[in-house]
Structure 1
Amino acid sequence: MIILKIVPVCLMFILSYSVYAIGNTQEQLAIFKLNLVDDSEPKFYFVKLLQGSHIVIYDKDGNKKQSIQPIFPDLEDDYKKNKYQLPQKYRQSFLTASGISETDNLFVYNYEYNKLYSFPISKLEVFAIKSDCLPTDEKNYQFGFGLELNQLPQDYDPNDTTFVYIGKESPFAQEQLTLLNWQKISDKEHNYLAQAHGLHYYLWTSGKSSWDPDYYPKCEGLVVKNDKNKILLDEVLTQAYSSLPLNGKDKDHEYKKQWTGKLFKNKPLVVFGFFSRMGCPVIDFIDSSFPSYDIRLRCDSRFVYYSCKLFLKMAKTNKIKRR
């Protein structure tokens, strides 16, 4: 079965990120993702910051400054639980490894509805979430902050239209972003056009698939031009990216992926939702003097929370077979 080959590879990929290097990132905006952990009682939101136990911190010159290993080393139950609340005596080790202070705030920004929520770090608990169901130790856990469901609106869905930032002040401009409305066009180079903020957004897609009639168009490339036809941004799908579907509906889903506008204070307009990298929507400034690497995307797909009961149940029913 294909699953037999995929699962070990995925596990090795996750474990390969048990060592993090945290450098001089003050000039970057670190953006995280808010994950809904619904396979837990009670359910809760989780902002993943670190994976694994061996955290190496470097100074601005790239020299090793500090090594923290492990974060919580003396569990008496041999890491049998899927979730732990980090004991207070290890909290500072986690904060140091994450580059976070108790005086910081965790900002949750829903850009679809232009709503900002703020939570003092000093009031948030730190959790360790198990990454898989195999015999494990600390390096198989993901560390981050937890939010109770009642700390956000009851119908809140963080999966598609939320960014998280941790710091003293919110970087979000809180100016309503524009969901791009695509119109199909007849052009030799482009398939679709949208207009916003006096700019023209051209893109081409992979189109319909000859072997899959239900295939929904996905982005292959984007060009943004001003009213003088000058190219301000030219972005093409690469091996580092995955393409995302266009805004709109297919027969089963409604997509709200491509947005543009002033997302950050004191920075140019952005556009995002055409491509993803490690599960993060790639954010581009529509200004060549502001490279995209000024944004450090940390909302990656390495957040994994498996239900061991479900895993074992599927194994018993031969849906998952072991070697």
Structure 2
Amino acid sequence: MISCKKDENLKSKTTATTKINVNFQEKLPTKKSDSLTLFTVTLYQRNDLMDAFISVSDLYTDSLSIPADIIKNQKKMSFEKLRHFDLDDNYRKKMLNALQLTENDSVYIYNYDLNKLTTISINKLKSVAYLTPYASEGEDIYEYYYMLGFQLEAQKKWEDIFEKNNHTVASFGRENPFIENEMVPIHWKIIKPNDYTNKIFSNSKLIKGNIYEFRNNKLTYYLQDYKAEEAITRRQLMVVDHDKNIVFEKTYLNDGEGQEFTAISGLETEDGFNSQWTGSLFKNKPPIIFGFTSESFGCSSVAFMDKTSPEIYINCDNRH
């Protein structure tokens, strides 16, 4: 299974687990009217087919989310049937109610690289269950081994489905939350330190490495590497306006296990792939920036460049 994930770079990634600890709940917290819930698009291989689907299992954790007969009769079923099945109307309705969605709502999928918005009514989507690929044939299967959600498509042309669903983010609801054609890939260049950059980047016991610069409209982005024993362990981002006032800053860490740095766009990436992005993505929200780290055991988030708005976590059903 491959997850087309907005990790911060939303790059393709495998997500699964052998054992998952889940706190089951019958009801989700009340969703605020102005809240924004985001999801990645996951790709799942089934023999010669590649499915694109959105897992909602990060939010929908009902212990009775799949038919009891699946678990009860698993030893009598083929592993292929266990790996994937459609949810019937009762279980579909239960999932929709828990997510506070209706058949009249839609899913909005925005590919910010291709600047393409896809809108699909929920009543046109299959409700599905996919078994985590880390489950082995012959072992006992439990309810929480399943990724539950909505199938977007299934096809044999893998290249097309990869391109279509990489660099995407999705949201369910009645209105499209995305702004189109205002996201910009960050293309860094290495610059020499100067009096100004030496001033804005604080002193540290770590050794300063490369410093990168990117300019977009009236903003200048600076990214400073910090090293410990030749390894880059910290990156500090500063965004300044035309008067050189700092409008946003953030520090990214490489802990060597759960989180690691993504490639520097324009310098370490190939084939036109961009890791870091900035610009306006959401209606009535400040500009954003993301793509500096990749999460191994969780999901990534999007940072708003206004110092006050909290980051938005992107549900990715990461089962590592």
Question: What is the match of residue 278 of structure 2?
Answer: 260
CA distance in 1, matches of 2:42, 2:298: 12
SS at match of 2:37: strand
Shift of 1:257: 1.1
Question: What is the match of residue 62 of structure 1?
Answer: none
SS at match of 1:237: strand
CA contact (8 A) 2:299 2:317 kept: yes
CA contact (8 A) 2:58 2:315 kept: no
Q: 1:17 to 1:42 in 2, by over 3 A?
A: same
Shift of 1:273: 0.9
Q: 1:70 to 1:258 in 2, by over 3 A?
A: closer
CA contact (8 A) 2:189 2:266 kept: no
Matched, 1:35 2:53: no
Question: What is the match of residue 172 of structure 2?
Answer: 166
Code of the aligned partner of 2:220: H
CA distance in 2, matches of 1:218, 1:197: 30
Shift of 1:24: 3.0
Shift of 1:17: 3.3
CA contact (8 A) 1:276 1:282 kept: no
CA contact (8 A) 1:35 1:158 kept: no
Name which of 72, 93, 96 aligns with 2:67.
72
Name which of 224, 237, 243 aligns with 1:204.
224
Shift of 1:236: 0.8
Question: What is the match of residue 147 of structure 2?
Answer: 142
CA distance in 1, matches of 2:186, 2:48: 38
CA contact (8 A) 1:222 1:235 kept: yes
CA distance in 2, matches of 1:201, 1:53: 38
Q: 1:273 to 1:218 in 2, by over 3 A?
A: farther
TM-score scaled by structure 2?
Answer: 0.74
Q: 1:16 to 1:117 in 2, by over 3 A?
A: same
Q: 1:252 to 1:191 in 2, by over 3 A?
A: same
SS at match of 2:96: helix
Q: Which runs of 5+ in 1 are unaligned?
A: 1-8, 56-67, 212-216, 305-323
Structure scoring higher RCO (CA < 8 A, sep ≥ 6) equals: 2
CA contact (8 A) 1:19 1:51 kept: no
Question: What is the match of residue 122 of structure 1?
Answer: 123
CA contact (8 A) 2:300 2:313 kept: no
CA contact (8 A) 2:179 2:281 kept: yes
Shift of 1:196: 0.8
Name which of 228, 231, 242 aligns with 2:246.
231
Matched, 1:45 2:60: no
Code of the aligned partner of 1:193: E
Shift of 1:102: 1.2
CA distance in 1, matches of 2:166, 2:298: 11
Code of the aligned partner of 2:170: V
CA distance in 2, matches of 1:69, 1:136: 14
SS at match of 2:313: strand
CA contact (8 A) 2:278 2:287 kept: yes
CA distance in 2, matches of 1:47, 1:116: 16
Question: What is the match of residue 22 of structure 1?
Answer: 28
Q: CA RMSD in A?
A: 3.3
SS at match of 1:22: coil
CA distance in 2, matches of 1:290, 1:51: 22
Shift of 1:178: 0.9
Deviations 1:220-263 (A, max 9, x none): 22111111111111111246754221113548765411111110
SS at match of 2:169: strand
Q: 1:251 to 1:175 in 2, by over 3 A?
A: closer
Question: What is the match of residue 13 of structure 2?
Answer: none
Question: What is the match of residue 111 of structure 1?
Answer: 112
Shift of 1:18: 5.8
How many residues align? The count is: 274
Matched, 1:298 2:315: yes
Q: 1:94 to 1:300 in 2, by over 3 A?
A: closer
Q: 1:228 to 1:114 in 2, by over 3 A?
A: same
Question: What is the match of residue 183 of structure 2?
Answer: 177
